[in-house]
């Protein structure tokens, strides 16, 4: 597959066209941002690590019946994916209280929730991705009721698959963000699944193994990302 022109330059990934209009190349970058871009920096080797982590997780999900945009790892920091028409609805699933949920509801971080919480956000960087509900989605024609039902079912199924798998690797899935899109009218999971888009904690110590280490200046950011990869690649 031939890599062609740059189509989109994002905060953590760049997207390139290929010689096949049905496929794109995503290049993972070492750049890191937080707090809607107010904090910027770089995490050494993040691009390569996140590419490998996302590859492992997408393959796991595909093996469990979840259709994703993943086709293959193209290079150390590049992934070949199916081109999606991305829905402007981001999905967040929460299993343990942390981050904005703790601040918004005034509950302590680390509280295990009685059941997972699913939240929708409007995908718009300029508006800082505000939280929305199904009424906003339908009023703005962001997705159809059938699509919302589909992404809801998929999000909870993905949560179940990842929670079980990560626990076998001695990690807790605290919360995570998902993006979905259409490929030839088929609903598929897109974007990435990595410490950039998920909160991973060590199951015993609750040490943070994700981008919160960058957000909160905790240090050891590269080491945390590498630890996630090491555990996922382990037997």
List, in sequence order, every residue forming a beta bridge with 54; answer none if it has no partner.
none
- Mean per-residue pLDDT over the chain, rounded: 96
Distance CA 4, CA 49 (A): 24
Q: How confident is the model at residue 235, as a pLDDT?
A: 59
Tell me which architecture the domain covering 3-82 has in CATH: 2-Layer Sandwich (3.30)
The values of phi and psi at residue 125, to 5°, are -60, -40
The per-residue pLDDT for range 67-98, each reduced to its tens digit, is 999 999 999 999 999 999 999 999 999 999 99
On the question of pLDDT at 3 being above 90, the answer is yes
Q: How confident is the model at residue 33, as a pLDDT?
A: 87
| DSSP letter for each residue of 144-180 | -HHHHHHHHHHHHHHHHHHHHHHHHTTEEEEEEEEEE
Q: Which residue ranges does the chain devote to CATH 3.30.470.20? A: 85-233
On the question of pLDDT at 36 being above 80, the answer is no
Task: State the angle between helix axes of 46-63 and 145-168 in degrees (0 to 180), rounded to the nearest 10.
Answer: 110
Q: How confident is the model at residue 38, as a pLDDT?
A: 75
- pLDDT band per the 50, 70, 90 thresholds, residue 34: confident
Q: How confident is the model at residue 39, as a pLDDT?
A: 83
On the question of pLDDT at 37 being above 90, the answer is no
The per-residue pLDDT for range 189-227, each reduced to its tens digit, is 999 999 999 999 999 999 999 999 999 999 999 999 999
| Between 234 and 159, residue with greater pLDDT | 159
The pLDDT > 70 percentage for the chain reads 99
Tell the CATH topology of 85-233.
D-amino Acid Aminotransferase; Chain A, domain 1 (3.30.470)
The pLDDT > 90 percentage for the chain reads 94
Report the helix count and the strand count for the chain, using DSSP H and E: 6, 13
What pTM did the predictor assign?
Answer: 0.95
Q: Which residue ranges does the chain devote to CATH 3.30.200.20? A: 3-82
Q: What is the mean pLDDT of residues 51-79?
A: 98
């Amino acid at each position: 597959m031939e890599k062609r022109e740059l189509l989109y330059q994002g905060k953590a990934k760049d997207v390139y066209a290929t010689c096949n209009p049905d496929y794109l190349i995503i290049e993972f970058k070492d750049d890191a941002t937080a707090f809607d871009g107010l904090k910027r920096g770089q995490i050494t080797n993040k691009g390569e690590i996140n590419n490998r982590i996302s590859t492992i997780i997408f393959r796991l999900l595909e093996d469990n019946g979840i259709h994703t945009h993943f086709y293959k790892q193209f290079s150390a920091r590049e992934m070949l994916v199916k081109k999606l028409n991305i829905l402007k609805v981001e999905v967040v699933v929460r299993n343990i209280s942390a981050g904005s949920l703790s601040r918004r509801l005034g509950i302590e971080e680390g509280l295990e929730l009685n059941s997972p919480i699913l939240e929708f956000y409007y995908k718009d960087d300029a508006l800082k991705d505000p939280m929305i509900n199904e009424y906003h989605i339908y009023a703005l024609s962001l997705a159809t009721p059938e699509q919302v039902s589909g992404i809801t079912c998929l999000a909870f199924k993905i949560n179940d698959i990842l929670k079980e798998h990560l626990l076998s690797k001695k990690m807790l899935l605290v919360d995570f963000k998902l993006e979905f899109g259409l490929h030839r009218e088929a609903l598929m999971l897109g974007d990435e699944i990595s410490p950039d888009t998920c909160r991973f904690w060590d199951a015993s110590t609750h040490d943070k193994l994700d981008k919160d280490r960058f957000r909160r200046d905790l240090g050891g950011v590269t080491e945390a990302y590498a630890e996630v990869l090491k555990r996922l690649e382990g037997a």
